[in-house]
Amino acid sequence: MALLELKNVSKSFGSGSTKVNVLSNINLAVEEGEFVAIVGFSGSGKTTLINLVNGLHFPDQGEVLLHGLPITGPGPDRGVIFQNYSLLPWLSVYNNIKLAVDEVFPKLSKMEKDLHIKKYISMVNLSHAKDKMPSALSGGMRQRVSVARALAMDPEILLMDEPLSALDALTRGTLQEEIVTIWSQNRKTAILITNDVDEGILMADRIIPLTPGPNATLGPEFKVDFERPRIVTEINKNSTYKRLRNDILEFLIEVGSTRRQFSDQKYLLPNLQPTYPGRRAFWKKNVNT
């Protein structure tokens, strides 16, 4: 039995004429220890999908099953990493993580908790910054805290909702590697939501595209079986990689092209020449006459 299963799940928001069907007919089975990436356009319902799994939303139709039982609400067995970090700004790095640890492991002694927290802080290379406030950290460092907080709960499933989208390309690359390295150590089940095909290929075992909404649904899955760690410059020469990347991108271009809107009216461009203010316009006039 799959660890997590979504069966014919549909979800809509609003009612009457303003009703929007965000997701329809989602079927997904995630096995234990698997790393699945869901790639989709912004606004297609990726976050809604994650919220169905973490228990913040419930499906209108169909069911979301964890170990074969329906999900009844959020719980520490599913750790979430949000795009906007969602740290408590008045707590230090250490205390942000402590908050989660206190909640999940109330029976640990003070010292055990301390060791536990420090282990995860060092895992994300933040030991030097453990007493800093989130406001004193860069975006990349904040996201590291968020990763440590989710992992410190020792969840069965790690849910990542566009964790790296707000970061610049360089930090993004480093964090992708770090997350994969940490993930490889204990191979927990992980679901990554992303809009970046390359991120999916570098991190996941399986990539499933989400078609643009409304009525978004999952497309055909793409298996990624490259050895980890995957290094972009190396796999770039691999012909399987090229094929895989092109197939995914082309699928997304195909489904994305239906989104383009055209208006019926045609506009004609008046044939006018611009005038540029300043000395050059004056110059030009003198040269010509």
282 forms part of the interface with other proteins (CB under 8 A): no
The angle subtended at Cα 143 by Cα 140 and Cα 144, nearest 5°, is 90
Identity of the residue, 13 or 283, whose beta carbon is nearer to other proteins in the bound complex: 283
Identity of the residue, 12 or 165, whose beta carbon is nearer to other proteins in the bound complex: 165
> Which range in 38-46, 67-75, 108-116, 182-190 contacts other proteins by CB under 8 A?
38-46
* Binding residue (CB under 8 A) for other proteins from 128, 223, 279, 285: 279
The upper half-sphere exposure of residue 208, i.e. CA atoms within 13 Å in the direction of its Cβ, equals: 19
3-state secondary structure of 276: coil
Give the count of beta carbons closer than 10 Å to the beta carbon of residue 137.
Answer: 18
Please state, in angstroms and rounded to a whole number, the distance separating the CA atoms of residues 189 and 182. Answer: 12
Q: Would you say 208 and 39 are in contact if contact means Cβ atoms under 8 Å apart?
A: yes
* Binding residue (CB under 8 A) for other proteins from 16, 89, 106, 270: 270
259 forms part of the interface with other proteins (CB under 8 A): yes
- Shortest approach of other proteins to residue 1 CB, angstroms? 34
* Binding residue (CB under 8 A) for other proteins from 53, 129, 208, 252: 252
C-alpha closest to that of 162 among 45, 62, 242: 45
289 forms part of the interface with other proteins (CB under 8 A): no
107 forms part of the interface with other proteins (CB under 8 A): no
16 forms part of the interface with other proteins (CB under 8 A): no
Identity of the residue, 107 or 279, whose beta carbon is nearer to other proteins in the bound complex: 279
> Which range in 57-65, 96-104, 176-184, 250-258 contacts other proteins by CB under 8 A?
250-258
Binding mask 110-149 for other proteins (x = CB under 8 A): ----------------------------------------
Please state, in angstroms and rounded to a whole number, the distance separating the CA atoms of residues 99 and 103. Answer: 6
Identity of the residue, 153 or 193, whose beta carbon is nearer to other proteins in the bound complex: 193
Residues in the chain: 289
- Shortest approach of other proteins to residue 237 CB, angstroms? 6
Q: Would you say 93 and 131 are in contact if contact means Cβ atoms under 8 Å apart?
A: yes
- Which residue stretches of the chain are H helix? 46-54, 93-104, 110-123, 139-152, 169-186, 197-203, 232-235, 239-256, 279-288
Q: Amino acid letter at 217?
A: T
Distances (CA, A) of 142 to 85, 86, 190: 6, 9, 20
What's the farthest any 2 CA atoms get from each other in the chain? 91
- Shortest approach of other proteins to residue 43 CB, angstroms? 8
Chain contacts with other proteins (rule: CB under 8 A): 40-43, 165, 168-170, 195-198, 232-233, 236-237, 242, 246, 249-250, 252-253, 256, 259-263, 265-270, 272-280, 283-284, 287
